[in-house]
């Protein structure tokens, strides 16, 4: 991640320095008194080339910010640098109409919207990069960073003074852009050699309550422990209830590796009571695969299974591209880009899908969308592993209740038939059964074998 981020900033610096060769290919632009951006003016011969290089430079800078591993209290500086990148893209998309300072005839006609937008974007981008330099220098406490900041501020002030005086703008502007490009390379080198921050990996978040026979609850895709509050509250009066968040979800830290079926089985085994005590496992969604595999691989640990809205294992084989992408997602979950995505879309998406509040802001964390995407990419591998386990390991003689909505795709019915399970059909249940009808799950846990829940 650090290498990719550094590469993005170096690419941004190189593309942003395309004006160096442009001085020789576009002699109509005055090197002493003309803006560098005049090279990309609409009436210049190489306008398309310089506009594309500016836009790609801004995109590379914004991508670099998105890939930067998140460090506490550095967000204002990186946000300012992202704004600089996006404003650079805008300046490339809206070029000057003509060489404003090099061509005396340029000012004789009224400027277009694009001309005005370019001037505004240029001014704002200069302010944004100066803010980024100062904010990051203050956080890093680096003399070199402060030297770049003060030199760039001086070059910006000289550019403004030269513009007011009517001559020398080209020299000052070129000095300003050179300093910005060198600073981007400095940022890249700093990321490569700086001391790495802890990745945040560790033990999962676990909630234990009540006393009695053990019940282990494992949530479905994107689920968190608090989605099961109603179920746990009802069961805790007579059972020892264990809830947990899988890596990257809820309050659990990220995992250094993508999810696998065997890793989830090992997690259930680690959270279950020690032998000879047995546990009732309540699983939702794709976690039903984890629970079934757990029962087949650790038959002496399981007292009962309650499988809520189980999906059908996919028959299609795993994709190598999904595996490759899944290896990157744990690291991507710790970047500023993932954090920005989660804060912009996470709360609204959670409220729409779950219909309940997020009490601790879990879905504003960048690790959550990365973990959700990682579990989705791992589905085919998990399904293939489950099919192999089914072929190798018989299902133990334990009671199973399958809860599914009436009229769905038939996965619940087929699974109940395969496991000789009790099937409970909920006529109006949505995807969040534990929120919409927690009583059905509680009844299934409390039901004695052979009775109707």
DSSP strand pairing (400-405 vs 422-426):
parallel
β partners of residue 206? 244
The Cα–Cα gap between 389 and 394 comes to 8
What pLDDT sits at residue 30?
A: 67
Return the ∠ at Cα 277 (arms to 276 and 282), rounded to 5°: 135
Least confident window among 83-92, 231-240, 405-414, 438-447: 405-414
Least confident window among 273-287, 322-336, 369-383, 389-403: 322-336
What pLDDT sits at residue 165?
A: 79
- Residue with structure tokens 């190189």? 14
DSSP strand pairing (279-284 vs 302-308):
parallel
> What letters, b where the CB count within 10 A reaches 16 and e where it falls short, cover 422-433?
bbbbbeebebbb
Class of domain 206-446: alpha beta
What pLDDT sits at residue 82?
A: 95
What pLDDT sits at residue 196?
A: 62
What pLDDT sits at residue 429?
A: 61
pLDDT for residue 199 is more than 60: no
pLDDT in tens, 1-36: 889 999 999 999 999 988 888 777 776 676 677 677
Q: How many Cβ atoms from other residues are within 10 Å of residue 85's Cβ?
A: 28
pLDDT in tens, 228-268: 999 999 999 999 999 999 999 999 998 888 899 999 999 99
pLDDT band (50, 70, 90) for residue 118 = confident
Closest CA to 84 of 136, 144, 155, 40: 136
The Cα–Cα gap between 236 and 239 comes to 5
The Cα–Cα gap between 309 and 220 comes to 9
Could you check whether the bond before residue 276 is cis, i.e. omega within 30 degrees of 0?
Answer: yes
Q: Give 137: exposed, middle or buried? Use CB within 10 Å, 0-12, 13-18, 19+.
A: buried
Return the ∠ at Cα 198 (arms to 197 and 199), rounded to 5°: 110
SS3 content of the chain, % helix, strand, coil (to 5): 60, 10, 35
Between 398 and 334, name the one with better pLDDT: 398
Contact 296, 386 (CB under 8 A): no
Mean pLDDT throughout 135-139? Answer: 94
What pLDDT sits at residue 145?
A: 93
pLDDT for residue 175 is more than 80: yes
pLDDT for residue 181 is more than 80: yes
pTM (predicted TM-score): 0.80
pLDDT band (50, 70, 90) for residue 406 = low
β partners of residue 208? 242
The Cα–Cα gap between 318 and 372 comes to 18
What pLDDT sits at residue 451?
A: 53
pLDDT in tens, 408-425: 668 888 898 999 999 998
Mean pLDDT throughout 332-338? Answer: 88
Name the CA radius of gyration of the chain, rounded: 29
For residue 109, report the phi and psi dihedrals to the nearest 5 degrees.
Answer: -115, 155
pLDDT in tens, 221-230: 999 999 999 9
What pLDDT sits at residue 331?
A: 83
pLDDT for residue 427 is more than 80: no
β partners of residue 217? 243, 282
pLDDT in tens, 32-80: 776 778 777 787 888 888 899 999 999 999 999 999 988 878 899 999 9
Under DSSP, the state recorded for 1 is -
């Amino acid at each position: 991640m650090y290498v990719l981020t550094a590469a993005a900033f170096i690419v941004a610096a190189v593309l942003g320095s395309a004006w160096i060769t442009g001085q020789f290919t576009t002699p109509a632009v005055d090197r002493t008194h003309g803006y560098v951006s005049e090279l990309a003016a609409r009436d210049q011969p190489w306008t398309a080339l310089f506009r594309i290089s500016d836009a790609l430079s801004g995109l590379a800078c914004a991508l670099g910010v998105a890939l930067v591993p998140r460090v506490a209290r550095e967000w204002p500086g990186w946000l300012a640098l992202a704004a600089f990148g996006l404003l650079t893209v805008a300046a490339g998309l809206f070029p000057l109409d003509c060489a404003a300072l090099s061509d005396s005839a340029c000012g004789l006609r009224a400027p277009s919207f694009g001309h005005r937008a370019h001037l505004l974007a240029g001014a704002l981008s200069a302010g944004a990069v100066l803010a980024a330099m100062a904010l990051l220098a203050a956080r890093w406490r680096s003399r070199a960073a402060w030297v770049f900041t003060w030199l760039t501020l001086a070059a910006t002030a000289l550019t403004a003074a030269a513009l007011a005086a009517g001559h020398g703008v080209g020299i000052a502007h070129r000095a300003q852009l050179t300093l910005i490009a060198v600073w981007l390379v400095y940022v890249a080198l700093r990321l490569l050699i700086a001391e790495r921050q802890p990745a945040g990996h560790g033990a999962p978040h676990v909630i234990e309550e009540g006393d009695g026979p053990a019940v282990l609850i494992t949530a479905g895709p994107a689920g968190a422990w608090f989605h099961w509050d109603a179920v746990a509250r009802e069961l805790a009066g007579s059972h020892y209830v264990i809830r947990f968040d899988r890596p990257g979800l809820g309050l659990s830290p990220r995992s250094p590796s993508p999810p696998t079926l065997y890793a989830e089985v090992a997690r259930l085994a680690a959270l279950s009571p020690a032998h000879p005590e047995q546990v009732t496992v309540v699983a939702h969604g794709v976690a039903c695969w984890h629970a079934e595999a757990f029962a087949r691989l650790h038959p002496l640990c399981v007292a009962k299974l309650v499988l809520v809205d189980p999906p059908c294992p996919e028959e299609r084989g795993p994709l190598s591209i999904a595996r490759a992408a899944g290896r990157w997602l744990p690291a991507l979950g710790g970047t500023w880009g993932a954090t920005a995505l989660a804060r912009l879309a996470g709360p609204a998406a959670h409220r729409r899908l779950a219909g309940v509040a997020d009490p601790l802001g879990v879905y504003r964390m960048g690790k959550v969308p990365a973990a959700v995407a990682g579990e989705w990419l791992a589905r085919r591998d998990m399904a293939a592993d489950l099919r192999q386990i089914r072929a190798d390991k018989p299902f133990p003689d334990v009671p199973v209740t399958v809860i599914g909505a009436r009229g769905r795709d038939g996965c619940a019915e087929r699974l109940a038939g395969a496991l000789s399970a009790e099937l409970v059909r909920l006529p109006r249940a949505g995807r969040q059964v534990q929120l919409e009808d927690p009583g059905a799950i509680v009844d299934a846990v409390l039901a004695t074998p052979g009775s109707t829940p």
